[in-house]
């Protein structure tokens, strides 16, 4: 019998062969390794949300190992003396236990909370990027919708999450949530009774929120995130316009190794920042709030920042109650139910509304600079200023207290600001966009200002302009077409001056970087500009 020789070098080859025999993966794998990604810093904002979500899953699993989602009243006997002997729910006691008696528990709790804030913040910034660059246009409308659903789910994940410790602050939040449900016409009392299992607060809500927070919502989030990324992968990422870039191609670098490595490094950096915040910045010190008591609340009871816009809208709403025969519609119904609904459904429909207005049915893979669609920027800034006024109003009592402003004046400022600022923001941002466009066109037509002043024989002073393109027989620049992309506006952008020395400790020894892409032309030759040229 011949003994088989084991060739270790051949092992991976055999493994790969075997895998391909069974799953036919060679061709798709090559496609994956070769896939080209366009690169721009603003494309990484969504990644921060993804990475925060991973941190949330990891830290959240740890927290579940210690948290007891029960509202059974017990007397606290842990190591925090300030509350010893106090009657509190088992949920609050286990949150305190997690903070004081579990090694690294406070660190994990703060990491979970900071990651949640970062998750929501990066979703907002990512959405702003997508909106202002027109990345939501056909064929990406569905992904825009998924993105908004992700924000909405994140909102509810956050709310259910900060309700769980059952401290004074979270109980107040629950109380307001119940009041919001009560404002619904006809079904209000029934809805609140169904969710709380009877009268507020009941004994079930923490357990119900717990299963929603650790299973239902993250499950849906996970599915939607997978769909979100899958669609990006299938449709290929959008790219900025620029040299060589068309609506039919993707210009960038292959996913492996460089792009994937940058993603991995970025993940570690995001994770590092969250860890730093978790260790250094205190967040939600529940032991200072005490257990929830229906009779107690402190001033400065603020929700997390992504809920503050809603709280602000509720504060600003005038007390206009509608009576219909023997029934009443409380004023809170408008900001909390109709307002929240509109704030989500209008953006959901926006891609189709814009396409309908512009009669635009084409596929768009090239982004638009904000200035090239002033109308959209105006609408976006209108929404953003509305959101900001509402968010700031959500903490108007703290602002009034710290800056010694009358609280009522803050409320009135918010009410007026909510109506005045959005149209103002619309007007200003549209004008800014048009101005920026105008300046781009001006430089394309006349060239870059050199800063060199020339006196003509007739005594007139003129500034010399460096044309960006060819000149006609009189020396006047031939106007260049507006391409919707960066126009160099300073002489050192067109190679007049050597770039500043780069590098922290050592000057980098390579020559000046090639502008945008090599197609523009290799390293530029420099010569001194003399006045009077």
Which candidate, 231, 340, 306, places its Cα nearest to that of 52?
Answer: 306
Contact by Cβ (8 Å): 351, 136: yes
Map tokens 């921060």 to a residue: 48
Nearer to other proteins, 18 or 31 (CB): 31
**Least Cβ distance, residue 193 to other proteins (angstroms):** 4
Closest approach of other proteins to the CB of residue 314, in Å: 6
CA distance 355 to 361: 7
User: How far is Cα 378 from Cα 132, in angstroms, rounded to an integer?
Assistant: 10
Output the smallest distance, CB 241 to other proteins, in A: 14
CA distances from 30 to 37, 76, 254, 308 (A): 15, 60, 11, 47
Q: What are phi and psi of 147, to 5 degrees?
A: -60, -40
Nearer to other proteins, 356 or 502 (CB): 502
Give the span between the Cα atoms of 424 and 55, in whole angstroms: 40
What are residue 75's DSSP bridge partners? 87
Least CB distance to other proteins at residue 338 (A): 15
C-alpha 444/C-alpha 436 separation (Å) is: 12
Half-sphere exposure of 281 (CA within 13 A, CB side): 12
Output the smallest distance, CB 172 to other proteins, in A.
Answer: 6
Nearest to 182 by CA among 336, 313, 311: 336
Q: Given the complex with other proteins, which of 11 and 519 has the nearer CB atom?
A: 519
C-beta closer to other proteins: residue 125 or 250: 250
Nearer to other proteins, 40 or 254 (CB): 254
**Least CB distance to other proteins at residue 74 (A):** 13
Give the total residue count for the chain.
533
In whole angstroms, how close is the CB of 292 to other proteins at the nearest point? 7
- C-beta of 168 vs 347, nearer to other proteins: 168
Beta carbons within 8 Å of 215's beta carbon, 6+ residues apart: none
Closer CB to other proteins, 358 or 519, in the complex: 519
- Give the whole-angstrom CA distance, residue 287 versus residue 42: 39
Q: What is the DSSP letter of 471?
A: B
Beta strand pairing call for 327-329 and 322-324: antiparallel
- Identify which of residues 276 and 349 has a Cβ nearer to other proteins in the complex: 276
Beta bridge partners of 36: 254
* Nearest-approach distance from CB 178 to other proteins, in angstroms: 7
Cβ proximity to other proteins, 275 vs 496, nearer residue: 275
Name the nearest CA neighbour of 302 among 404, 406, 180, 395. 395
CB of 463 to other proteins, least distance (A): 36
Bond into 33 cis (ω within 30): no
**Helix, coil or strand: residue 14:** helix
At closest approach, how far in Å is the CB of 377 from other proteins? Answer: 26
DSSP assigned state of 522: S
Tell me whether residue 228 or residue 365 sits nearer to other proteins (CB atom). Answer: 365
């Amino acid at each position: 019998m011949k003994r088989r020789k084991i060739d270790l070098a051949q092992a991976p080859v055999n493994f790969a062969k075997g895998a391909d025999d069974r799953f036919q993966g060679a061709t798709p794998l090559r496609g994956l390794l070769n896939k080209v990604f366009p690169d721009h810093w603003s494309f990484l904002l969504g990644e921060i949300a993804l990475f925060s979500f991973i941190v949330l899953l990891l830290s959240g699993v740890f927290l579940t190992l210690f948290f007891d989602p029960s509202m059974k009243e017990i007397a606290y006997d842990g190591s925090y003396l300030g509350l010893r002997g106090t009657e509190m729910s088992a949920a609050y006691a286990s949150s305190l236990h997690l903070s004081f008696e579990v090694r690294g528990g406070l660190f994990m709790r703060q990491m979970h909370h900071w990651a949640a804030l970062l998750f929501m913040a990066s979703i907002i910034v990512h959405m702003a990027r997508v909106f202002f660059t027109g990345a939501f246009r056909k064929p990406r409308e569905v992904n825009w919708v998924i993105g908004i659903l992700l924000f909405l789910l994140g909102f509810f994940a956050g709310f259910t999450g900060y309700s769980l410790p059952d401290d004074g602050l979270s109980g107040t939040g629950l109380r307001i949530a119940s009041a919001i449900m009560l404002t619904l016409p006809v079904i209000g009392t029934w809805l609140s009774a169904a969710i709380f299992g009877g009268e507020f607060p009941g004994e079930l809500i923490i357990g119900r929120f717990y299963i929603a927070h650790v299973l239902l919502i993250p499950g849906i989030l996970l599915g939607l995130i997978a769909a979100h990324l899958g669609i990006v992968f299938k449709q290929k990422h959008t790219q900025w316009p620029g040299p060589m870039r068309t609506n039919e191609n993707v210009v960038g670098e292959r996913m492996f190794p460089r792009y994937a490595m940058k993603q991995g490094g970025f993940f570690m950096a995001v994770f590092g920042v969250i860890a730093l915040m978790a260790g250094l910045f205190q967040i939600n010190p529940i032991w200072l709030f005490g257990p929830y008591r229906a009779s107690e609340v402190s001033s400065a009871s603020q929700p997390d920042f992504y809920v503050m816009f809603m709280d602000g809208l509720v504060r600003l709403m005038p007390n206009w109650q509608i009576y219909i025969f023997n029934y009443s519609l409380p004023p809170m119904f408008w900001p909390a139910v109709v307002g929240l609904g509109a704030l989500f459904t209008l953006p959901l429909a926006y891609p189709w509304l814009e396409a309908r207005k512009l009669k635009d049915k084409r596929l768009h893979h090239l982004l638009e600079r904000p200035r090239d669609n002033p109308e959209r920027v105006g609408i976006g800034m209108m929404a953003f200023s509305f959101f900001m006024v509402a968010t700031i109003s959500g903490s108007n009592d703290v602002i009034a207290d710290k800056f010694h402003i009358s609280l009522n004046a803050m409320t009135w400022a918010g009410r007026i600001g909510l109506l005045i600022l959005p149209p103002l923001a619309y007007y200003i941002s549209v004008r800014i966009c048009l101005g920026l466009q105008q300046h781009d066109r001006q430089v394309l037509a006349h060239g870059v200002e050199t800063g060199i002043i020339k006196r003509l024989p007739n005594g007139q002073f003129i500034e010399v302009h460096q044309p960006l393109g060819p000149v006609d027989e009189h020396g006047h620049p031939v106007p260049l077409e507006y391409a919707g992309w960066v126009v160099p506006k300073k002489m050192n952008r067109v190679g007049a001056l050597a770039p500043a020395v780069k590098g922290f400790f050592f000057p980098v020894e390579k020559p000046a970087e090639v502008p945008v892409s090599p197609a523009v032309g290799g390293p530029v030759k420099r010569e001194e500009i003399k006045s009077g040229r």
